[in-house]
Structure 1
Amino acid sequence: MLKNFIIIVAILLLSTSCNNSKEQEILEQLKEKDQTISELENELDYYKEKNSELMEKLTMIEEPFPKLELFEYGREVDFYYEDEKVSGNLTAISVVEKYFEAMKSNDLESWKSTMTQDKQSGFVEKEENFWIESLDILDIHYESDTGYKHSILQDEDAKEMGLTPDNIAVIYVLYDVLYDNSKVPYNSGRINWHFILLREDGQSPWKIQGWGYGYGGI
C-alpha cells in the first residue's frame, strides 16, 4: 500500500515538473515574441520618423518651384510655325541654324546678327575665325518643357522687360563639333545646349539672348 502511494506521489511530482517545464518553455517563447514585436515596433517608428524627415526635405525642395506643371503656354510648336507664316520672319529654329552656319563659314557679322544687341555687345573684340574644322547639327527642336519658360519669366530682368511667354522661344540643340585645339582651347565632341530667343512682339524677328545648360534666366 505504501509502495503504491509512493509511486503515485512520484508520478504527480514528475507530472508537475513536466508541466512547469512546458509552462516555462511557453513563457520563454512568449517573451521572445514580445521582444520581436517590440523590435518591430521600434523599427517601424524609426522608418516613420525617417519618412517624415524625407517628406519635409521634399517639401523644401519643391518650394522654389511651385506648381511648375500648371504653367501651360499652349501648343508651342504649332505657335512657332504659325508665327513664321504671319510675320514673315525666320522661326526660332532657323535663327539658331543660321547661328551655326555662320560659325562654320567664319562669318562673324552674320553670326552676331542672330543675337540681341545686348548679347552682341559681349563680342565686340571677337576675332573672325572660329577655328572649327567640322560642325554638324544632330538634333534641333522646340523645347516642350515649359519649366524653361517659367524659369525665365521669374528672372528680374525678364520682369523689367515685360516679357510674355509668346515672345520667348527655347530651342534644344545637339551638335558635334571639332575645334582646332592648336588655336583655341574649346572642347570638341557632342554638345547639347538650350538656346533662349526673344522678340519684341509678334511682328519682330527672333534674336538669341543666351545659350547653355538647364533652367535659368536671361
Structure 2
Amino acid sequence: MTQHPRLRALTGPTARAGAILAAAAALTAGAAACSSSEKTVGGISPAVASAAAEASRHAASAAAEASELTGAEASDAASNAAALISEVASARAASASAAASTLESRAAAFEASVSAQVSKARASASAALTGVAGTGNALGDVTLTGIPTTATDGFPAATLTITNSTSETAAYAVQVDFLDGSGATVETVVVGTTGLGAGQTRTVLAHGDTKADAANAKVVRAQRH
C-alpha cells in the first residue's frame, strides 16, 4: 500500500492538534496492519482495506490543513472530513469495494480543494508580512507548542495558539521557522488567521514539507493587521 506523504491532524478549529496527530498515526498504523492480513481477518479484501486507509489519510490531511482556515470554511472542512471518515468506516465494515474506491477519490479531491484554500490563505498571510520590520507587532499574542516528529511521520509541525489582545477584531500572519539540532533553518512556514475577535483565542497548525529527524519550532515574526 502506498504511504501517504504526510500524516496530519484530524482536527477542528479548536482541537489540540498534537493529540489528534497521534490518533491519526495510530489509525494509519492500524489500517496498514489490517490491509496486510485481510485475507484471514474479518473477510475484508485487501483492496477495500487499502482504499479505505487512503481515503482516511486524505480526509485527515485535509482536516488538519483546515485548521489554518477560519469561519464557515473551517467548520465545513472539519464536518466534511468527519463525514468522510464515518463513510469510510461503514464501507470498510461492509467490505464494499466500489464504495471504498469512490470514497478514496472523493477524499483525494476534498484534500486538493482544502489545500487550494489554504494556499490562498498562506499567500495572503505572506503578503501581510511583506515589509514588516523585526518581529512584528504581535509576537506576544502567539504561543507555540512543538509536536514531536515521531507523531508526524518525520515532518516538522507545531500548534500556534493565537490570542487577540486588542479590543478589535483582527487578522494575524505568523512566520514559523523549523530548525535542526544545529540551529540551522530546515524550513520556513507562514500561516495566518482572520476574523479573530477581541480577546478570542484560536489554534492553528503549522507544518513543514521537509522531513527531519528532529526539529525545533520558533515563531520569528507575528503581525496583527
The answer to whether TM tops 0.5 is no
- Structure with bigger gyration radius: 1
> Which one scores higher on RCO, CA 8 angstroms, separation ≥ 6?
2
Q: TM-score, structure 1 length as denominator?
A: 0.24
Q: Which has the higher helix share?
A: 1
Is the strand fraction higher in 1 or 2? 2
TM-score (norm 2): 0.23
